[in-house]
Amino acid sequence: MKAREFRGLAPAALRNDLETKRKELLDLRCQVALGEEVHPHRLREVRRDIARLLTVLGEKEDNA
């Protein structure tokens, strides 16, 4: 997702998405540790989404 798509969401929805992405990243890391096949680009994509969510949440908290 792009940052501009995240900016249209409410802070509660952003926190919910952040929790979901963190769980997804944990699952992907566990799959890598167990030797299962994981697409490397998916790990990178999830980490970047988490960073975008944290950035947008920070912006919204600064403006509130």
- C-alpha 18/C-alpha 46 separation (Å) is 10
Residues 2-58 pLDDT 10s = 888 999 999 999 999 999 999 999 999 999 999 999 999 999 999 999 999 999 999
CATH class of segment(s) 3-59: mainly alpha
Burial 3-33 (b: 16+ CB within 10 A, else e): eeebeebeeeebeebbeebeebbeebeeeee
- For the chain, which residues make up each domain, given as ranges? 3-59
In the structure, what pLDDT confidence band is assigned to residue 1 with cuts at 50, 70 and 90? confident
The CB-side HSE value for 22 (13 A sphere, CA atoms) comes to 9
- C-alpha 37/C-alpha 24 separation (Å) is 15
